[in-house]
Structure 1
Amino acid sequence: MASDKRGARLLSDLSNVFRKDPNIDEYDFLPVLEPKQNKSPIILVDHKLGLETWSVKILYQYAYHTVLTWRNKGPPVQFLEPVQLINLSRAVLLVNPECYTAWNIRKELIEAGDITVLEELKFGALILSKHPKSAETFSHRKWVLGKFLDSFLSSSQDSTASNGSTCSYEQGLVSMEAIDLSLECVGGIPVVQHGVANGHQDLKLQPISEYQAQMKAELCVCEKAAEKYPCNYYAWSHRIWVIQHCHNCCIQLLLGELQKTEGWVSRHVSDHSGFHYRQFLLSSLQRQAECLHNQFKLLYQTLLQKEHQFIVDLIHTYPGHEALWSHRKFVFSISYQAFNPENGTVSNIAKKDRGDHPEKHVESTKLLKKTRLENDYDVLKVKEVDNVTKKELNSSNLYQRHLAKQYLEWMEKISLQHSR
């Protein structure tokens, strides 16, 4: 009974803190094992929240028991106001973000309009500041972003119908090509260039501004989570989901992300998840190689050559890291696919130029011949084997030599596959 009273008091203190400062952006548990003074164990300084360790169990047990009793309609059944459910579920999730029951309650509160989508996204980001690898938090976040996207699409379509402006959508996804994205970056992320007339922002484009701002924030949330927990599969998978579902794999953003994450993986050379994200970016750009060539005059071949040199430099600088060699395998493999004379990316570009732009036929033919000569599989293989044999196999690092040997064995296996 005394524990219930203390739990209720702690919940009240926590709720008051969030009411006074709705911009709390980080929290942690303070190593205080028992109360030393007659004051609240909940501390707030500069939007940073701290809970003394001794109080965490009491708070969690009270909030969890109360919300589960209400959920299961167990005795004594009591009616809880939406505000109470918000406070209780928040207390539970701050301690245990894998409690899907609490997340489901918050989904119902969002559907009922008691919690806004933006408030929930802010709360989810707060949870990830302490629990950056929480699977349930990322899962819930996808659902909330889906609601946000639906709301944006609805408001944009209403605006389009009323003012006659045009905006394209594909399969329920927002087409970021309809938003004028510039390759100028803020922190490496492309930013929206809004329509401006006489120095004043067009208020009709405000929903797009809000959408783009939130999507930039979402990528920042993913990056912070990846920084806090190494090889954070959930954070990088969520980042891929955002690019696919909220940005529709926009070429400008793919290029911006490729440039931005170059520095990140250079600082985290053992992080397989970070390199997997770059592989996703390169694969997405490969599927849009013709558009990349037509709109930006940029050959996919150029990106692959740059990526190959980038990973080779990292391997030389940081010997003995398996993640780097795994990425090197990917780059070599996709290079062969891209420059295959039968169905490769460069072949397709040349064929399309010949059909759609006869005047470019000669130029495309030269490009195709040059590409076949320089990137024929046998030529690529000979160059790669020669480089690895001369450099990595002679490394003073024992594990580097082991990885180089494995890489050459892998090349022999795929050579047999290609020769069949």
Structure 2
Amino acid sequence: MDENGVLCEKIINDINAVIERDSDLSSFEIVPTIFNQNKSPVIHIEHNLGLESWCVKWIYDYSHNKIVSSKTSKQQKHNNDTSVVKYLNVGLLINPDVASFWHMRRQLIEKNRLMVHQECQFAKLVLSKKPKSSEAFSYRRWLFSFQSSESIDWSVEIGICDRCADKSSSNYHAWSHRLWVLQKAPPSILKSEIFLTEKFIKKHISDYSCYHYRHSLLEHLFEQSFYCDIDNVDSFSSLKDFINYCQVVTVSTTDEILLTLLPKLTEALNKNNGTKLSQRILQQFQEKVKSFLYCCNLAAFDMKLCDELKNLYGARESFENHRRASLKFIVDNIVKMNGIKVIDQCSSPVTKLCKYDYTENEFLLAVKKSEAMLGEKHRQWCSLFLGFDFSA
């Protein structure tokens, strides 16, 4: 081995010694330097790992050659498995977009040469350097297939996604991974996600990836019939403000909100309460209605938030698009909920969806009139996506 090879081997060993010694490593960065200062280029300070830039090219090329040669080596397979790990560590920290390197790590996991929890930590370290690494996110999802949902700390996973999105704007891979977490994680994370995404929107006003995730979160909440603080009238303040803005008649109670938004369904439930519907079916309806109110209140809050941000920062496409998405959520679900027909419990199914004409709903007509005031371009959007006919 020549002098350069000896130096590269020493640096690689130093990096791996830090990785093995510090199980709480939180970040990796390449530190810009020009010259070799006759000291170790590996920097380890308070769970942070750094590597001086002057040696990056040399040790990456050296690691790459070692990994490639290990595939064709005729040495004993077990020895190849154990020795190639340190080169994979360095190679992926510097360049995490090499899919074949991640595939080799998968093979090592399947052979029990690497531990799943250590690999989760390593992938997190890689993402601290390159927060848009699709391969690292994909590897994390693959690692979770070896673990039960109860054993995974989903809040940590959300935190990783949040940090990656914070470091790199429009981080499609981080938000896609977060959507995957949303589908897999228990409902206990939903409430915190509402507050975290609101905080992120206020900090990154032009990052539409978060707005899209926020809308997907809202859809997921309603799909899961999620609600909280339903007995607190103030929890519907945004929805009440939106209703009162659109209509001349003022609503102040939950019953008045329901009668305004869901007049037909409210009437049907009152008729069937305790008579034609079983208690179980009635409870399911009540939970769905509570979730409807809760989610529509969130959508109304987002509409108001977009207007407030517009007043602070000026008009932006992200504000307009998210306000429209929130409005569409409210209108679509009013139509959907009013289109539910409650039928006798001896029939099957208990409910069925019927075609619903929005012109039968006074509130939707008021929304149509209110939104028409926002200009021709917005009227065209309402006509296309909400079915509002402004020619009448």
- Structures share fold, TM-score greater than 0.5: yes
Contact 2:26 2:48 in 1 (8 A): yes
2:30 equivalent to 1:34: no
CA distance in 1, matches of 2:286, 2:119: 40
The structure, 1 or 2, with the larger RCO (C-alpha pairs under 8 Å, 6+ apart) is 2
Q: What is the number of equivalent residue pairs in this alignment?
A: 319
Q: Which amino acid aligns with 1:334?
A: F
Structure 1: which 5+ residue stretches go unaligned? 153-173, 175-207, 357-368, 390-404
Structure 2: which 5+ residue stretches go unaligned? 227-283, 346-357
Superposition map of 1:19-418 within 5 A: 19-37=20-38, 39-71=39-71, 73=72, 80-148=79-147, 152=148, 208=150, 210-211=151-152, 214-247=153-186, 250=187, 252-289=188-225, 293-294=286-287, 297-298=290-291, 299=293, 300-340=295-335, 344-348=336-340, 351=341, 372-374=361-363, 376=364, 378-386=365-373, 388=374, 406-414=377-385
Q: Which amino acid aligns with 1:82?
A: D
TM-score by length of 2: 0.73
Q: How far apart are residue 320 of structure 1 and its match?
A: 2.4
Q: How far apart are residue 57 of structure 1 and its match?
A: 1.1
Runs of 4+ residues over 4 Å off in structure 1: 76-79, 289-293, 415-420
Distance 1:238 1:287, change over 3 A: same
Contact 1:289 1:345 in 2 (8 A): no
Q: Which amino acid aligns with 1:266?
A: K
Q: How far apart are residue 63 of structure 1 and its match?
A: 0.9
Q: How far apart are residue 417 of structure 1 and its match?
A: 7.5
SS of residue in 2 equivalent to 1:49: strand
SS of residue in 1 equivalent to 2:30: strand
Q: Which amino acid aligns with 1:380?
A: V
Q: Which amino acid aligns with 2:219?
A: S
Counterpart in 2 of 1:192? none
SS of residue in 2 equivalent to 1:54: helix
Q: What RMSD, in angstroms, separates the aligned Cα atoms of the two structures?
A: 2.9
SS of residue in 1 equivalent to 2:49: strand
What's the CA shift string for 1:73-111, capped at 9, x where partnerless? Answer: 16x767534332221111100000001111111111211
Q: Share of identical aligned residues, percent?
A: 26
Q: How far apart are residue 303 of structure 1 and its match?
A: 2.9
Q: How far apart are residue 125 of structure 1 and its match?
A: 0.9
Q: How far apart are residue 47 of structure 1 and its match?
A: 0.8
CA distance in 1, matches of 2:362, 2:161: 41
SS of residue in 1 equivalent to 2:29: strand
Q: How far apart are residue 323 of structure 1 and its match?
A: 1.1
Q: Which amino acid aligns with 1:294?
A: E
Q: How far apart are residue 40 of structure 1 and its match?
A: 1.0
Contact 2:70 2:80 in 1 (8 A): no
Distance 1:406 1:122, change over 3 A: farther
CA distance in 2, matches of 1:284, 1:77: 52
Q: How far apart are residue 335 of structure 1 and its match?
A: 2.0
TM-score by length of 1: 0.69
